[in-house]
Structure 1
Amino acid sequence: MQLPDHKTKIVCTIGPSSSSEKVLRELIISGMNIARLNFSHGDLEAHRKVINRIRDISSDLDMVVAIMADLPGPKIRVGTIQNEPMILKKGDYVILTSRHVESTDSVIPVHYHQLSDSVSVGSSIYLNDGFIQLESKCIEGEDVHCEVIVGGPLFSRKGMNLPGSQIFINPITGRDLEIVDFGLEEGLDIFCLSFIESREDIIQVRDYAAGKGKDIFIVSKIERERAVANIDSILAETDAVMVARGDLGVEIPIENVPIVQKDIIHKANLASTPIITATQMLESMTDNVRPTRAEATDVANAIIDGTDAVMLSAETAVGKYPVEAVKTMARIAKSTEAWRGHSTLGIDLMKKAINKGHPDVEDMISIQVNDALWTLPVKYVVTPTVSGKTARNISRFRPDTWIFAFSRYPQTCMRLAMQYAVYPIYMGGKVDDWECTSVEILKNMKVTQKGDMVIFTQGQTTGHGKPGGTNLLKFLEID
């Protein structure tokens, strides 16, 4: 078999441009590792069909493709705009209202009944992903009178951001929990939470699923100022994070986004927590067959920062060139990884940070594996795993070597699909000798030759299918 030529994982948002069987197959072959279903759009039956389609194609190709359900969260949106788009010009005055009224040339209905409680005179209000900026001048009942600071066209249902204001909505909505129910019924266990602010939001969804007897994998989107402030406690609770730069770039000063991105990626790497970098990575490819130089550099810099995965949104959901966007992302990843493969950039910092904390045996195993990869001609790392933790610990050093993660648990394989340099392999049935079985599979895959050296790690067996902790590292030569 032919292994991918890049180790950074690729998330594709599935939409009208990419939901057909033909395009989905091409996306998977081109490098899609995670299919993101955005439940802010589409109905449940349409999503059900896409889920089944992805599973059928990935099974046919014998490739692990994770499916991630992105919950809508409490996105504040404007209502229906009559005669859209409404053109807002600098210096105009408009009224934002939570009253149930139709829009006019100067009145914009908003689906948030506590709007006037959240804002104050002088507050900045952003519409349409921040492209339109208003300033609150006067508040009368449910009406907020605003001056247009930066104008532009406004369409129905566009988002609203209130940076620095208190939002009186639970980050986990009833609609979110309905979608969790749907996902669990369809066998999904990876859920992306939107607009969370604290670890309690994560616990709420985790406990909800646990009440239904399900253990789920939670990806926390960091897109609010309070989430940035609470990033340490969020990382301690979540299973993965996403730097969602769209709303984040409106909620905090846009000039701070690059540094916040780097800081969150570093902290996630240190915690062995998978991290996705998202939003407008190849935005121009929504309409053009090639990205801008700045976009290519943005993707490369996220990979150099240490992201596990990079995400495509409109590029694959509604864009004209979804497959070309994935291929472009894969080429950028390949080129960037080749450069990083000859650099210790970030590795020494990671080791120093681990040693300053309270490293355990598994931490030391991952450091030793990394040292060996830089010193010896190791072809692959082999890690039988229950939870995926050992593979993640090794992956955080962003090795130039594939990590084969063998697991008897399909959900573990799906969850490892977003982990840098990890190639998950599902093992059905009982395995008596992981060392011999794993090596035999590599031989059958024709990815090794006689004399190749591989590193094999393993933990003690608990006998109950529970993680036992990795405490063994061996060097094996393929015979």
Structure 2
Amino acid sequence: MLAPQPTAPKRRYRSRRTKIIATLGPATESEATLEALIRAGTDVIRLNMAHANHEWTRSILRRIRAISARVGRDIATLMDIKGPEIRTGDLDTPLELKVGEIFDFTVKPGSDRLDAEEVRSVDVNYRDLVNDIRIGDTVLVDNGLITLEVLEKHDAHIRCRVLVPGELKSRRHINLPGVTVNLPSLTDKDRADATVGIEEGIDFIALSFVRSAADIALLRDFLAAKKSKARIVAKVEDQSGITNLDEIVLAADALMIARGDLGIECPLEELPIIQRRAVRACLSHARPVIVATHMLESMITQPIPTRAEITDVSNAVYELADCVMLSGETTIGRYPLESVQTLDKIARRIEHETEGLPESIPPFNGERMKVLHSAVVLANQLPDSKILTFTRHGFMAHGLAALRPAKAPILTFTPHEQLFRQLRLLRAVEPYLMPFAGEPDITIENAIAVLKKTGRVTAGDKLVVATDILSHDRLIDSVQLRTVFD
């Protein structure tokens, strides 16, 4: 008889600091599965508008709100609008492209082409392709599975040579690495989709293929015209976005490192460097950052991730990203709940390993950020302390989260319901909804009472309070150290 095998001791970790975004789809849209995802710790639900119609969007947003209310955990919602894209047209049957084959992309369907009877072709939905592309450029089709080189440009088509073969099906996505395309950043479809989200109280809108701060300004003007307080997540997906990274981070409310298209548009070996650079840029500008795509891709079909995927998620946590995001794993995957639980376990373990080791955070300008920095320094020096703060617009919470306290959670109170949900995107922030009193000190006492009632703090706990106080009839920023009493 075999002797019983020793088991690893159970570890007790603090509340998870890294947030989890799960994309909703056929595998997770039911009430039961959606409730399970929320109970498992999902912080933000993403809707991918590339695969959603308006009726489904309205229905699912209302379902999320209803389930959140029933569970007692109000989570945030993120609408990912499709943005500009270049795709091939429809084909009667798939085409098997061979190495060395000459192949045409046609921008004017039905037009005459040289040697048309000898050269196969497919239509493309982008008429300016001929103007934007150069001879010698690379055309990537179907997420880079097929590679072609541009040989010639004509009025109605471009002629290419197949470098990497594959089967070409209808409506495949085209990437043009290094090519600046003349496509609008906000399409008519995006405006229509965003309008539905705004009407249903969406918390975040993610803008695809952001190339400059001007793209963000266009969406921000649209939201302002609709009187929406939804916040903008800029998706960096191509070389233009990387080139203009700092201006994009400053213009947006958050950044998503969308590694799917980014890994196609940029050399693969550059992707980890781009990710690290983007995370640091967000930290230095006090913006939340999301690491997305292929985090647990194998769990679409398998119950456990690969060792490489575990390390990839761990690296995002080590880099101090605010969020990690699931896409196919929770839209069409067989194991959506297990995927969320896996992210949760990895994040908690890595955070426990690094707890108490504050990172070197870039310096900030501004008096208020210096005050917040002093609060974080004090919290880092006090074992088991917690940071308590209050915000009407989100600045205090964003600033404290960007400073990445080594171990103290950031207990954040706000009187605004939508901001309460939006705070779920921020690393280490635990949001609470509560009306503020006329005097700051009464608001602090009321917040402590809420924390005691919910069991989040107990007698003897140390609270580093970052807030404003009334002094000589004006409000000033302050840092206080308070002990919780019975």
* TM-score (structure 1 length as normaliser): 0.92
Determine the C-alpha separation between the residues in 2 that align with 1:294 and 1:89.
32
Q: 2:455 aligns with which of 436, 446, 451?
A: 446
Aligned to 1:95: 104
Determine the C-alpha separation between the residues in 1 that align with 2:315 and 2:347.
10
Determine the C-alpha separation between the residues in 1 that align with 2:301 and 2:16.
25
Aligned to 1:370: 376
Determine the C-alpha separation between the residues in 1 that align with 2:157 and 2:231.
41
Change (3 A) 1:241 1:371: same
* In the alignment, structure 1 residue 28 sits paired with structure 2 residue 65: no
1:362 Cα shift? 2.1
Aligned to 1:140: 154
Aligned to 1:223: 237
Q: Does the CA contact (< 8 Å) of 2:14 and 2:352 recur in 1?
A: no
Change (3 A) 1:264 1:468: farther
1:428 Cα shift? 4.7
1:411 Cα shift? 1.7
1:430 Cα shift? 5.2
1:129 Cα shift? 1.4
What's the % identity of the aligned pairs?
Answer: 32
Change (3 A) 1:82 1:221: same
More deviation, 362-371/197-206: 362-371
* In the alignment, structure 1 residue 199 sits paired with structure 2 residue 209: no
Determine the C-alpha separation between the residues in 1 that align with 2:110 and 2:310.
45
Q: Does the CA contact (< 8 Å) of 1:206 and 1:216 recur in 2?
A: no
Q: Does the CA contact (< 8 Å) of 2:375 and 2:479 recur in 1?
A: no
Change (3 A) 1:64 1:402: farther
| Unaligned runs of at least 5 residues, structure 1 | none
Change (3 A) 1:402 1:331: same
Aligned to 1:416: 423
Q: What secondary structure sits across from 1:177 in the alignment?
A: helix
Aligned to 2:4: none
Aligned to 2:6: none
Q: 1:402 aligns with which of 402, 409, 420?
A: 409
* In the alignment, structure 1 residue 437 sits paired with structure 2 residue 446: yes
Determine the C-alpha separation between the residues in 1 that align with 2:244 and 2:145.
27
Letter in 2 for 1:258: P
Determine the C-alpha separation between the residues in 2 that align with 1:319 and 1:66.
22
More deviation, 312-321/393-402: 393-402
Q: Does the CA contact (< 8 Å) of 2:437 and 2:443 recur in 1?
A: no
Determine the C-alpha separation between the residues in 1 that align with 2:65 and 2:97.
45
1:471 Cα shift? 2.9
Aligned to 1:382: 388
Aligned to 2:59: 49
Written as runs of structure 1 = structure 2, the 5 A alignment for 1:348-359 is 349-350=360-361, 353-354=362-363, 359=365
Change (3 A) 1:24 1:137: same
* In the alignment, structure 1 residue 475 sits paired with structure 2 residue 482: yes
Q: Does the CA contact (< 8 Å) of 1:139 and 1:145 recur in 2?
A: yes
Q: Does the CA contact (< 8 Å) of 2:420 and 2:432 recur in 1?
A: yes
Q: Does the CA contact (< 8 Å) of 1:241 and 1:276 recur in 2?
A: yes
* In the alignment, structure 1 residue 240 sits paired with structure 2 residue 249: no
Aligned to 2:28: 18
Aligned to 2:5: none
Q: What secondary structure sits across from 2:90 in the alignment?
A: coil
Determine the C-alpha separation between the residues in 2 that align with 1:280 and 1:469.
45
Q: What secondary structure sits across from 1:7 in the alignment?
A: coil
Determine the C-alpha separation between the residues in 1 that align with 2:373 and 2:436.
31
Determine the C-alpha separation between the residues in 2 that align with 1:421 and 1:472.
19
Change (3 A) 1:469 1:423: farther
Written as runs of structure 1 = structure 2, the 5 A alignment for 1:145-184 is 145-184=159-198
Change (3 A) 1:132 1:478: farther
1:370 Cα shift? 2.1
Change (3 A) 1:4 1:43: farther
Q: What secondary structure sits across from 2:29 in the alignment?
A: coil
Structure exhibiting the larger radius of gyration computed from Cα positions: 2
Aligned to 1:319: 333
Q: Does the CA contact (< 8 Å) of 1:448 and 1:478 recur in 2?
A: no
Determine the C-alpha separation between the residues in 1 that align with 2:105 and 2:344.
44
* TM-score (structure 2 length as normaliser): 0.91
1:178 Cα shift? 1.5
Aligned residues: 465
Change (3 A) 1:468 1:120: farther
Q: What secondary structure sits across from 1:417 in the alignment?
A: helix
Q: Does the CA contact (< 8 Å) of 2:48 and 2:79 recur in 1?
A: yes
